[in-house]
Amino acid sequence: MGSQTAGSGIHVAEQRARTLSASPSSEQEEREEAARKMKQVRAIMLAVLVGAMVPVGAFAQKGGNDNRPPKDNPKIVEKEKPPPSNSNKKGRP
């Protein structure tokens, strides 16, 4: 009975030593590699999306489908000239 507990204690200690070791496990390396690849994929997808949206925005402005009614020519209102003043009026003091 004592030998079984000592053996299991050594096994647990070995597992903890493996997880605390300086060299990363192969599972951790795989996760980091997958994370790097996903980061690259996201960057590429973002670049493609931005590259596709620029021409779409440029062509959207060239429609020329203007359904607004035409504007009337502005009416110019001219001021009426006052009658000329006559300084030589008769009966003026």
The answer on pLDDT for 36 being more than 90 is yes
Q: What average pLDDT does this structure show over 30-58?
A: 92
Lowest mean pLDDT among 10-14, 55-59, 60-64, 67-71: 60-64
The rounded distance, in Å, linking the Cα atoms of 32 and 10 is 30
Do residues 38 and 30 make contact, with C-beta atoms less than 8 angstroms apart?
no
The 10s digit of each residue's pLDDT in 10-26 is: 777 777 666 665 566 78
Q: Rounded to two decimals, what is the model's pTM?
A: 0.39
To which H or E segment does residue 80 belong? none
The answer on pLDDT for 89 being more than 50 is yes
